[in-house]
A and B are shown apart, each in its own frame.
Chain A
Amino acid sequence: MELDLDLSLSPHSNSSNFGFGFDLNKHLNTKEKRFEAMLGLENMEEDCYVPKPSSFSLNGQPEKEDEDPLESDSSVVYDEEGNCKVVGWPPIKSCMTKYLNYRHHSRNHPYHHHGRRINISNPAATMERVRRPTSSMYVKVKMDGVAITRKVDIKIFDSYESLTNSLITMFSQYQDCDREDTNFGFTFQGKEGDWLLPGDGPWKIFAESVHRISITRDCPCPHTRLLF
Chain B
Amino acid sequence: MDLRLPSKVLEHIFSFVDSNEDRNSVSLVCKSWFETERLTRKRVFVRNCYAVTPAAVARRFPEMRSLTLKGKPHFADYNLVPDGWGGYAWPWIEAMAEKSPALEELRLKRMVVTDECLEKIAASFKEFKALVLTSCEGFSTDGLAAIAVACRNLRELELRECIVEDLGGDWLSYFPETLTSLVSLDFSCLDSEVKLSDLELLVSRSPNLKSLKLNRDVSLDALGSLLRLAPQLVELGTGSFSDKLDQEAVSKLSQAFTELKELKSLSGLWDVLPEYIPLLYSVCPGLTSLNLSYATVQMPDLVELLSRCSNLQKLWVMDLIEDKGLEAVASSCKELRELRVFPSGADVDETNVALTEQGLVSVSEACPNLESVLYFCAQFTNEALVTIARNRPNLKCVRLCVMEPFAPDHKTQQPLDEGFKAIVEGCKGLQRLSVSGLLTDKAFEYIGTHGKKLRMLSIAFAGDSDLMLHHLLSGCESLNKLEIRDCPFGDTALLENAAKLETMRSLWMSSCGVSFGACKLLSQKMPKLNVEVIDEHPLKTRPDSSPVEKIYIYRTLAGPRLDMPEFVWTIHKNPEIGVSNLAIE
Contacts and interface: CB of A to CB of B under 8 A. Distances in A.
Contacts of B407: 31
A63 B543 CA distance: 11
Nearest to B192: A135
Interface in B482-534: 485-486, 488-492, 495, 510-511, 513-515, 517-518
B547 A55 contact: yes
A106 to B, nearest CB: 10
Contacts of B296: 103, 110-111
Contacts of B405: 31, 34-35, 38, 86, 89
B537 A12 contact: no
A18 B515 contact: yes
A11 B408 contact: no
A165 interface: no
A95 B191 CA distance: 11
Contacts of B346: 92, 97, 100-101, 104
B549 A74 contact: yes
Interface string B133-149: 00100000000000000
Interface residues of A, number: 63
A90 B545 contact: no
Contacts of B547: 53-56
Interface in A9-31: 10-14, 16, 18-25, 31
Nearest to B82: A148
The SS class assigned to the B binding surface is: loop
A53 B511 CA distance: 8
Contact of A21 (B294, B464, B518, B546): B464
Contact of A66 (B270, B464, B518, B539): B539
Select the residue from B75, B513, B517 with max chain A CB neighbours within 10 A. B513
B490 A20 contact: yes
A223 interface: no
A88 interface: yes
Interface string B443-471: 00000000000000010110011110010
A75 interface: yes
A122 interface: no
A67 to B, nearest CB: 7
Given A10-B465, A18-B491, A116 B536 contact: no
Given A12-B492, A19-B491, A24-B464, A74 B83 contact: no
> What's the interface size class on B, roughly?
35 or more
A225 interface: no
Given A111-B296, A116-B352, A96 B511 contact: no
B349 interface: yes
Given A19-B466, A91-B401, A67 B347 contact: no
Contact of A73 (B163, B350, B376, B511): B511
A53 B549 CA distance: 10
Nearest to A136: B191
Contacts of B488: 20-22, 24
Contact of A89 (B78, B518, B540, B567): B78
B348 interface: yes
B342 interface: yes
Contacts of B514: 19
Contacts of B511: 53, 73-75
Contact of B549 (A73, A91, A103, A117): A73
B536 A148 contact: yes
Nearest to B402: A90
B376 A74 contact: no
Interface string B348-382: 11101100000000000000000000001000000
Contacts of B550: 74
A87 interface: yes
B124 interface: no
A60 B295 CA distance: 51
B298 interface: yes
Given A10-B465, A13-B466, A74-B549, A38 B486 contact: yes
Contacts of B350: 104, 116-119
A66 B540 contact: yes
A19 B492 contact: yes
Contacts of A22: 464, 488
A101 B343 CA distance: 12
A95 B78 contact: no
B342 A18 contact: no
Contacts of A21: 464-466, 488-490
B438 interface: yes
A105 B317 CA distance: 21
Contacts of A110: 242, 271, 273, 296
Contact of A147 (B273, B401, B536): B536
B492 A16 contact: yes
B161 interface: yes
The 6 A-B residue pairs with the shortest CB-CB distance in the complex, in nearest-first order? A19-B490, A88-B78, A10-B465, A18-B491, A119-B349, A21-B465
Interface of A: 10-14, 16, 18-25, 31, 34-35, 38, 52-58, 63, 66-67, 71, 73-75, 86-97, 99-101, 103-104, 109-111, 114-119, 121, 135, 147-149
23 contacts: A12-B466, A13-B490, A18-B492, A18-B495, A18-B515, A18-B518, A22-B464, A23-B465, A38-B405, A55-B545, A67-B540, A74-B510, A87-B79, A88-B75, A92-B78, A94-B163, A95-B189, A97-B346, A100-B343, A100-B345, A116-B344, A116-B350, A147-B536
